Amino acid sequence: MTLPPNVYDAEPIPESARTEIERLLQTGDLFRYTAPENAPVSLLEKEFAAFMGVKYALAVSSCSAALFLSLKALGLPRGARVLIPAFTFAAVPSSIVHADCEPVLAEVGENYRLDIEDFATRLDDNIDAVIISHMRGHTSDMDAIMALCQARNIPVIEDAAHSLGTRWHGHKIGTIGDVGCFSFQSYKLLNSGEGGVMITNDPDIVARAVIMSGAYEHNWKKHQCQTDADAQALAEAFGRWQNQLPLYNLRLNNLSAAIVRPQLDEIARRVRDGRRNHDYVADKLNQSPWINVPEKLDPEERAPDSIQFNLVGMNEDEVRAFEGAAAKRGVKVQIFGLSTDNARAFWNWQFLDHIPDLPQTRDMLMKACDARLPARLQLPELDLIAEALIRAAQDVMGNLRATA
């Protein structure tokens, strides 16, 4: 039997990164503020902002750092309440706790996206900010979310860690809210091992975040902009915030930037192949009576590197048996709510003061499966994965029930 492929390895870093890395190793110029200008981190920020079509980008040590700095840059008071979807990675509520704010969780539907009705109910006068986590690249209804938040003047941060290349009505995800945050961790579309970036068009938000990220004294002068007008607005904002803010030192280093920069040219291909791979496997899985891959929302163009699907008509024992049967066939799936200590199951966020009861999100997590599906996989490899999953469901539920 041909075994399904390894889905954990990342793509090799483009060969063109090597010259710059060698230069940095030779000179030891690893700190972003050593060189008088054009440090790799500054160039990455300028290129990333241009790619996203926004005025400002700040590269930092992780997406979690970007989320934390975004909250701090909004100037939220201690104890501010930040509304988030209950289906997200533990780093998101953690960034809120770290910013001395309080996470409030909203229900998520069977399609992994925010339940807008529940979100609207919780978006009351006690909510000071919203983080929309596009978990696993699934975009929630940004039209409804922005309308609700703008009506109440509530700032929106997009956690787009896993959504680089995704579009909503043609607009890039991460550019719809007030701030967008992305990750360069190895499981994300751009990989430098660790790293992140935040984008915004607001000069005061970015100036505050730049200073707090560790641009002490006048290091902010080394940040680059798209236009002279943007640079002017930014310089004025730095004038307002000089010496006013604490330094958290969450900078990115030049080596990481040198690893990311040549990957910007790979984004279009990775998005295209990731979407092809996802949709190919989704079509096959949806032919099984035991598996359902939820539809994307209409305005959404996705950029997936993994697949999520719900098991249909299985009880908890059968769901567990499916996980085992798939593993036996060489495909590792995680059921978010069943794998021990899963960081995406909200009841495991025991660092929170209060873990709410969210039955709808819990039900989803107890039958939603997660499997990696990197862009580099080829169709025959996808066939092996899809076949293993379909057969694993048959192993558990039997062909008889399938045709009954």
Ligand X SMILES: *Cc1c(COP(=O)(O)O)cnc(C)c1O
Pick the binder of ligand X from 63, 82, 207, 210 (CB under 6 A). 63
Q: Which of residues 326-355 bind ligand X (CB under 6 A)?
A: none
Q: Tokens standing for 283?
A: 């079509």
Binding segment for ligand X (CB under 6 A), chosen from 149-157, 159-167, 226-234, 241-249, is 159-167
Question: Minimum Å distance from CB 138 to ligand X?
Answer: 10
Strands 179-183 and 196-200 come out as antiparallel
Cα(393)–Cα(290) distance, integer angstroms: 6
Binding segment for ligand X (CB under 6 A), chosen from 40-48, 154-162, 222-230, 332-340, is 154-162
Q: Any idea what DSSP says for residue 366?
A: T
Residue 114 touches ligand X, criterion: CB under 6 A? no
Which residue type does 381 have?
A: E
Spell out a b/e string for 340-375, using b for 16 or more CB atoms within 10 Å of the CB, else e: eebebbbbebeebeeeeebeebbebbbbbbbbbbbb
Pick the binder of ligand X from 183, 192, 224, 361 (CB under 6 A). 183
Question: Minimum Å distance from CB 182 to ligand X?
Answer: 8
- Nearest to 108, CA basis, from 333, 342, 294, 291: 294
Residue 202 touches ligand X, criterion: CB under 6 A? no
Measured from the CB atom, is 61 or 288 closer to ligand X? Answer: 61
Question: What are the Cα distances from residue 315, in Å, to 115, 153, 242, 318, 375?
Answer: 24, 44, 59, 5, 32
Binding segment for ligand X (CB under 6 A), chosen from 61-69, 268-276, 293-301, 387-395, is 61-69
Pick the binder of ligand X from 62, 213, 253, 394 (CB under 6 A). 62
Measured from the CB atom, is 193 or 398 closer to ligand X? Answer: 193
Dihedral sign computed on CA atoms, order 159, 161, 167, 172: positive
Q: Which residues contact residue 105 at a Cβ distance below 8 angstroms, ignoring those fewer than 6 apart?
A: 83, 84, 85, 86, 93, 346, 356, 358, 361
Pick the binder of ligand X from 42, 175, 185, 288 (CB under 6 A). 185
Residue 280 touches ligand X, criterion: CB under 6 A? no
Measured from the CB atom, is 83 or 234 closer to ligand X? Answer: 83
Can you give the binding site for ligand X, defined by CB under 6 A?
A: 62-64, 88-89, 91-92, 133, 135, 159, 161-162, 183, 185, 196
